[in-house]
Copies of this chain bind each other. A is one copy, B any other.
Amino acid sequence: MENFAEQLNANLGGWNNAMGLRFSIVTTEEVVGEVTLGPQHTQPYGIVHGGVHCGVIEAACSTGAAIVALARNQSVVGLENATSFIAAARGGKMIVKATPVTRGRRTQVWQAVVSDEAGKTLATGRVRLMCLDTGSDLAGKPAGV
B124 touches A50 (CB 8 A): no
Residue from B51, B58, B78 in contact with A15 in the complex, judged by beta carbons closer than 8 Å:
B51
**A27 CB to closest chain B CB, in angstroms?**
17
**CB of A72, distance to nearest CB on chain B (Å):** 16
A interface residue count range (under 10 / 10 to 19 / 20 to 34 / 35 or more): 35 or more
Closest CB in chain B relative to A133 CB, distance in Å: 11
Identical copies of this chain, number: 4
Q: Are B106 and A130 in contact (CB under 8 A)?
A: yes
Name A121's contact: one of B14, B50, B78, B102 (CB within 8 Å): B102
Q: CB within 8 A of A12: which of B11, B44, B56, B87?
A: B44
Q: A51-B15, A128-B128 are in contact. Are A77 and B84 (CB under 8 A)?
A: no
